[in-house]
Structure 1
Amino acid sequence: MQPASLHTPRLKPLTLAVHSALSLMLFATYAQAEEAQIESDTLVISATALKVETPLLETPRSVSSVGRTELEKRNVQQLDETFRYRAGVLAGLYGSDNNTDWFKVRGFDQSTYQDGLRIYRTGFYQWLPEPYGLERVEVFKGPASILYGEAPPGGVINAVSKRPTSLPQNEIEIQTGNRSHRQIGFDSSGPANETGSLRYRMVGLYKERDGDLDHTYNDRYYIAPSLEWDVSDATQLTFLASFQKDDGVPTNAFKLPYGTLDTSNGKVDPQTNYSEPGYDKDEHSQSSIGYELRHAFNSTWAFEQDFRYNRLDLDLRSTYIFYALDEQQGMRGHLQRDGKVESYALDNRLVGNWRSGRTEHTLLIGLDYQDQQVDGREADPFPFGEAMDLFNPEYGHYTPVSADQFIQRDIEKQQLGLYLQDQVRIDDRWVLLGSVRYDDAQTDNIDQTNGIKQVSDDTALTWSAGAMYLSDSGLNPYLSYTESFEPQLQTDSEGSLYEPLEGQQWEAGIKYAPAGWDGYVSAAYFDIEENNSIIPGPVARQDGKRTSKGLELEASGYLSNALQVTAAYTYTDARDKDDNRAALIPRHMASLWLDYDFQGTHLAGLKLGAGLRHVGESVDGDLRVPDYTLADLMASYDFGSQWTAQLNISNLTDEEYVASCDYWCYYGESRSVTASLKYRF
């Protein structure tokens, strides 16, 4: 440990050199937009898995995509609602949280990206993508460090923003619903000049909604302008910006097993709030600005560059239940975070594509840089206030946090990565993939108040390989290996930085898309091992390894011109170093969603949708969390070509259930009802 005064950012000179060199390359871009989606709703061309546009059905890795049509159809309000009907992704495990999106992918945490660049989520500083501003969301399952640098073994979720369109399109939408839900949004896009070489888009929204606990709520303002410019036939430049402000009282869903799973002396109502509604608050604002540059030098070589600057300001007070004193009362803890996060992300790619005899090569050479700085005050007083009645809480019996209880903490993390990937296509039958990446990550965690500095300097060499056979029948088997590497910003109970997490995955699967059918079926077996695992709890600790093995089945397509089906099944066997089942992760998950369009009948304009989601039993040590099944409904009606009315109901029967336990237990989200009216012009 060193005093804070000795702190010097060691990557800064290299950073400036890299920026200077790469700035000379800022003169161009593809005329083709990144991560375009083909016309079908089910067959997608994406750059998330390989960072070069490739049909997902010809990619020897598991990626699931949810497009704009489905986001609207299911009225997705939070990012973690996106993959409810996809395999391998567990969401809602901590109930409905109004200031964090929670996922587990293949039994592990994941990292979140927007438009291919990292969104930093450090502790309670959570960047929250607004679903209304997204074109689609994709999940790359399993270790992904080979292209994205630091990442947990679960994989990467990439949220793709709405982009300018070549044709004019405008909409206004209003919504209302239970829990005092109110929302109005607008989306305007089209050419900005006579030639159409300059295009714009402006997306905005205001919404307010009560939380799933008593006395909690969140209000949000969101605006996202973008501009796309065809500089020349070979060059395209896209500017993307956004601003979002959230104000409310956080939904802190922590409950104890006593009163939820154990109801021998009474049951705690799911809406019970153990915080201090008159004192707790969550004031959160986030802003970003960046660009995407594409330039084709010739028919073989092209250059791509993505850059974004993010800033997040947070003033958070959050009170939570800690443990039971007796059969009636419990003690609480409290936390406060008041600070900001600034981050920069720069990704440069040189892409070559050429044929040589029987082979076609797609070569990717990349250099990326990430810089994150956290500057804030933090306090974690315990115990907080007097004992609280677990079944009938009364508020106001506490002493506000004083200035001398805060410490000033600064965290800086910088990462530079160099990666190389070659995708070889042989005789249009075989796809072979090989990748290697080198990362240098440096982290400084400084307690300015006490003059304590923790330093970590980590390097990693990660590998990836894959092979797929492309058959005439559309049945494509594959095998792949991937690795992950994730330095940690947090410190343990003794104030030392955790060791980086390391992960490896073997995967074998089949992707099937028969000719003439608008749809796909996929199956994948995965085997993941994580080393240096961090075990959650009242006092988190780093202890050994975790493993996760399982099977995923996923299908989406049209059974007829009117009926579309989306189905998924996941089996996951997640275990700790002692070969015990890991907390939170169910062995079985299954879902089924059906859509029916009455177009061509006397009910033309009407669309109906219905879904079932089943989550199997999970454990927390000796505790057993029962399985649950939820039903969702959707109905919409088009009035001509401009008006659409829609009704969405999730958890139709208002099922009361415990979603998961990991020391604390969490009730799942209650019934949500939303009605919307949309006008397009």
Structure 2
Amino acid sequence: MQPDYLTLRGGRSTARRLTTVLLGCSALTCAPALALAQDDTSDPVVLQTITVHSGDDSTTFVADETTAGSGLSADILDTAATISVVTAREIQARGAETIEQVVNYTAGVVTDYYGADNRFDYFRIRGFDAYTYRDGLRIGSNFGGVREEPYAFDRVEVVKGGNSTTFGISDPGGAVNFVSKTPKSGRHGETYLSFGSFNKKEAGFDFGDDLNDTGTLAYRLVGVLRDADAEWDHSQDDETYLAASLAWRPSDATQLVFALDHLDRNSVPGGGGHPVDTDFEASRYFGEPDFNYRGVDRTTATLMFDHQFSNGLQLGVSARYSDQKTDFGYIYLDDRRSPGDGATDRFLFANDSAGDDFVVNAHLQYDAMLGAVQSRTLAGVEYSDSSEYSTSWWTTADPITDYDNFTYTGGYSLNGLTPYQNRRTDTTTKSLYLQQELTFSDRLITNLGLRYDKGETTQTNLFNNDVSNGEYSDTTARLGVTYKVTPDLSVYGNYAESVVPAGLTVEPERGRQLEAGVKYRPAGGRALLSAAIYDLTKFNMTVTNPNTLREETIGESRVRGIDLEAKVDLYRNFSIIAGYSHMDSEIRNDGNGGNSGNALQFVPDNVASVWVNYTLPGEGARGDMTFGLGARYTGAMWFDNANTRQGDSFTVVDAAFGYDLAEDTSLQLNVSNLLDEKHVTGGIGANWYSPARTISATLTRRW
């Protein structure tokens, strides 16, 4: 039987198995005994103080270091991959309130292809959906996942190109890694109040301090409370996010961080679409007010440990346990049967799910000088185990016979409705990985990555207790080469492989990419310019048949393109973010589907964006004033792989204004879609409109 705690609307479970994190980590404390051996004649390198990146992401647009390229902390200029880092300062300056808004000024990324629909974080990197990670540990696919809270993160790292050797499961287009806010040294903090469009009322805080005189213990608390509607009638977008973390740093060589966070969302999944070939107000709602919900109840516990020995050896262990329940139900439109005649079919879809997920990663890093060659070796293991109960319902709803005179019928619920799917899924994955980096004369940097993943999945049909089993095993590789032409200029190339286990009935999705690029960092590190060309192919690409709702593969697809990106931060006065991407996509083998030769859905030929920030220093009684203006261009794209319906290109303008009321106190006004641009962003059988103009005023106090 499926447990009765699945449904969020009837109540929320408070049981949390947080001790699983500690048990998983204790099993790995013997890892140093299995460390990589180096010859005694080599000279060990004493590692520097543990750090992920040297810059302060709250004060700059331009990040300098990352671990997202290979798992080894490295200067972005020395990393043989295209990595775009969206810092906390950029998130704040642009007033980004969703992950889509965080990444929508990043080259190679396409967002808003389901418009104002906010069920998930919709974004694609280089033409494909992207897997997401938090502090290097897998979360899952953005499509179908939980919308993350941007205020929880110090930075968001967008890794272009497949990179399964670093994180594991990854699509060939790229991945996104969220870096959580963790305790700093010393007293710090901010709190804010925000009011805006659609009755938004929001408060947030982020503060911390040392807990003892020596500074070896520190804490941090982060929270967001929001009461708001969305832009369509009968909508809701409420959220509570709370996070607490504790850090123990007995020395510069050791760090232990424990974090606990809870996300509670109570919203609606979307407007359900509008009839095709109509032009109603985007706020017009054609679903049913009493059957439109999306609930999320997730608690996460994370443990991160790092220790540097005195002989060039470093141990790192990170683990996370998540307990999650979600529900989702709405009435949506499907106007394919007789578009344009004033009548529209409607359907009910709902899903309840609950589960837990545990993942632990342990690695050893050894740094040494082998003559004139600097060597860095990273070897590790990863284990994950997840269980999920999922029940889905689908049925016809009362059609709209005349959408000009449409009224709600009401009375929809799941009572008495037979689900079409009710199953439990248990998945276990075991992984081994190795990264080897060699630096010759401080100019030539080579990186080789290998990873072996073995996964087992068991699905139980809870209607009849039938059990199906499946497994996969795959080895992925990555080779990257960087050459430092000057200390500020590097060229690079890479070959990368990726793999995604798609399900029991289809083969794993595999990908490979070739990429070459150049990076330039002038202005003493206050700017980063990059350009890259790439050719990537995805095999066994899985899609959901809209008629059968079952997973199928379309064989082989290919995307070739170019990414150009610039981030410039000339101290307080002037900053600019600019990006351009050209993508040429093609379905090369669709089996018997008839789509061979077509372009991939939601992949425009061209995407471009620019954001400019300028600060006018205060004078006399007047405080500093900051002006921000941005524009995002998205070219025409197909809404389906059959290429039956194509949207128009569009440009969206965003703006911001900030004023320092007093020292450490500021008022900021952000406007998304300043010109209230309205266009159809996607949809087969219905129109999905772009997000409407949104205005937000935020008062912030820092200390």
User: Map of 1:484-503 to 2, 5 A cutoff?
Assistant: 484-489=498-503, 497-503=505-511
**How far, CA to CA, are the matches of 2:228 and 2:22 in structure 1?**
44
**How far, CA to CA, are the matches of 2:498 and 2:223 in structure 1?**
36
Report how far residue 384 of structure 1 moved.
Answer: 2.3
Report how far residue 114 of structure 1 moved.
Answer: 1.1
**How far, CA to CA, are the matches of 2:500 and 2:686 in structure 1?**
26
Aligned to 1:616: 635
User: Map of 1:384-423 to 2, 5 A cutoff?
Assistant: 384-387=397-400, 389-396=402-409, 399-403=412-416, 405-406=418-419, 407-423=421-437
2:672 paired residue among 631, 650, 664: 650
2:615 paired residue among 589, 597, 601: 597
**How far, CA to CA, are the matches of 1:664 and 1:536 in structure 2?**
17
Report how far residue 526 of structure 1 moved.
Answer: 1.0
Aligned to 1:86: 106
SS at structure 1 position matched to 2:287: coil
SS at structure 2 position matched to 1:380: strand
Aligned to 1:22: 28
2:583 paired residue among 572, 579, 604: 572
Residues 576 and 610 in structure 2, CA contact (< 8 A), matched pair in contact too: yes
**Letter of the structure 1 residue corresponding to residue 288 of structure 2:** E
**How far, CA to CA, are the matches of 2:22 and 2:323 in structure 1?**
20
Whether 1:551 aligns to 2:546 is no
Aligned to 2:323: 311
Whether 1:483 aligns to 2:497 is yes
Residues 565 and 594 in structure 1, CA contact (< 8 A), matched pair in contact too: yes
Return 5+ residue gaps in structure 2 as ranges: 3-20, 34-46, 589-595
Report how far residue 501 of structure 1 moved.
Answer: 0.5
Which has the larger displacement, 208-217 or 302-311?
Answer: 208-217
Residues 454 and 497 in structure 1, CA contact (< 8 A), matched pair in contact too: no
Residues 536 and 662 in structure 1, CA contact (< 8 A), matched pair in contact too: no
Aligned to 1:105: 125
Whether 1:169 aligns to 2:188 is yes
Provide, for residues 446-498 of structure 1, a one-character-per-residue CA deviation record: whole Å limited to 9, x for no partner: 21113333321100011100111102262211110101111124xxxxxx622
Which has the larger displacement, 200-209 or 385-394?
Answer: 385-394
Aligned to 1:7: none
Aligned to 1:272: 284
Aligned to 1:505: 513
Report how far residue 248 of structure 1 moved.
Answer: 2.5
**How far, CA to CA, are the matches of 1:362 and 1:634 in structure 2?**
44
**Letter of the structure 1 residue corresponding to residue 116 of structure 2:** S
Aligned to 2:303: 291
Aligned to 1:180: 199
Q: CA, structure 1 residues 60+608, in 2 after alignment: closer, same or farther (shift >3 Å)?
A: same
Whether 1:44 aligns to 2:44 is no
Report how far residue 253 of structure 1 moved.
Answer: 4.7
Aligned to 2:659: 637
Return 5+ residue gaps in structure 1 as ranges: 5-14, 260-265, 490-495
Residues 63 and 87 in structure 2, CA contact (< 8 A), matched pair in contact too: no
Residues 386 and 398 in structure 1, CA contact (< 8 A), matched pair in contact too: no
**How far, CA to CA, are the matches of 1:536 and 1:546 in structure 2?**
16
**How far, CA to CA, are the matches of 2:399 and 2:63 in structure 1?**
57
**How far, CA to CA, are the matches of 2:22 and 2:49 in structure 1?**
30
Q: What percentage of aligned pairs have identical amino acids?
A: 27
Whether 1:57 aligns to 2:64 is no
Aligned to 1:263: none
User: Map of 1:133-212 to 2, 5 A cutoff?
Assistant: 133-212=152-231
Report how far residue 408 of structure 1 moved.
Answer: 2.6
Residues 303 and 351 in structure 1, CA contact (< 8 A), matched pair in contact too: yes
**How far, CA to CA, are the matches of 2:280 and 2:426 in structure 1?**
42
User: Map of 1:344-363 to 2, 5 A cutoff?
Assistant: 344-363=358-377
Aligned to 2:41: none
**Letter of the structure 2 residue corresponding to residue 422 of structure 1:** Q
SS at structure 1 position matched to 2:212: coil
Residues 207 and 220 in structure 1, CA contact (< 8 A), matched pair in contact too: yes
**How far, CA to CA, are the matches of 1:233 and 1:551 in structure 2?**
42
**How far, CA to CA, are the matches of 1:37 and 1:393 in structure 2?**
58
Report how far residue 423 of structure 1 moved.
Answer: 0.9
Q: CA, structure 1 residues 157+487, in 2 after alignment: closer, same or farther (shift >3 Å)?
A: same
**How far, CA to CA, are the matches of 1:251 and 1:298 in structure 2?**
55
Which has the larger displacement, 565-574 or 91-100?
Answer: 91-100
**Letter of the structure 2 residue corresponding to residue 511 of structure 1:** K
Whether 1:474 aligns to 2:488 is yes
Aligned to 2:379: 365
SS at structure 1 position matched to 2:485: coil
SS at structure 1 position matched to 2:28: helix
SS at structure 2 position matched to 1:57: helix
Residues 343 and 371 in structure 1, CA contact (< 8 A), matched pair in contact too: yes
**How far, CA to CA, are the matches of 1:498 and 1:355 in structure 2?**
46
SS at structure 2 position matched to 1:69: helix
**Letter of the structure 2 residue corresponding to residue 581 of structure 1:** A
Residues 583 and 662 in structure 1, CA contact (< 8 A), matched pair in contact too: no
Report how far residue 437 of structure 1 moved.
Answer: 0.9
Report how far residue 655 of structure 1 moved.
Answer: 0.6
Which has the larger displacement, 529-538 or 480-489?
Answer: 529-538
Whether 1:282 aligns to 2:294 is yes
**Letter of the structure 1 residue corresponding to residue 109 of structure 2:** V
Aligned to 1:335: 349
Aligned CA-pair RMSD: 2.5
Residues 63 and 85 in structure 2, CA contact (< 8 A), matched pair in contact too: no
Aligned to 2:14: none
**How far, CA to CA, are the matches of 1:106 and 1:153 in structure 2?**
8
Aligned to 1:246: 265
Q: CA, structure 1 residues 473+307, in 2 after alignment: closer, same or farther (shift >3 Å)?
A: closer
Q: CA, structure 1 residues 659+601, in 2 after alignment: closer, same or farther (shift >3 Å)?
A: farther
Aligned to 2:693: 671
2:332 paired residue among 320, 338, 347: 320
Aligned to 1:262: none
Report how far residue 401 of structure 1 moved.
Answer: 3.0
Report how far residue 392 of structure 1 moved.
Answer: 4.7
Residues 187 and 203 in structure 1, CA contact (< 8 A), matched pair in contact too: yes
Provide, for residues 260-282 of structure 1, a one-character-per-residue CA deviation record: whole Å limited to 9, x for no partner: xxxxxx42332232321112222
**How far, CA to CA, are the matches of 2:427 and 2:626 in structure 1?**
49
Aligned to 1:522: 530
Residues 195 and 697 in structure 2, CA contact (< 8 A), matched pair in contact too: yes
Aligned to 1:128: 147
Report how far residue 58 of structure 1 moved.
Answer: 1.0
Report how far residue 517 of structure 1 moved.
Answer: 5.5
SS at structure 1 position matched to 2:89: helix
Provide, for residues 17-52 of structure 1, a one-character-per-residue CA deviation record: whole Å limited to 9, x for no partner: 98664144599xx98455224255314211111112
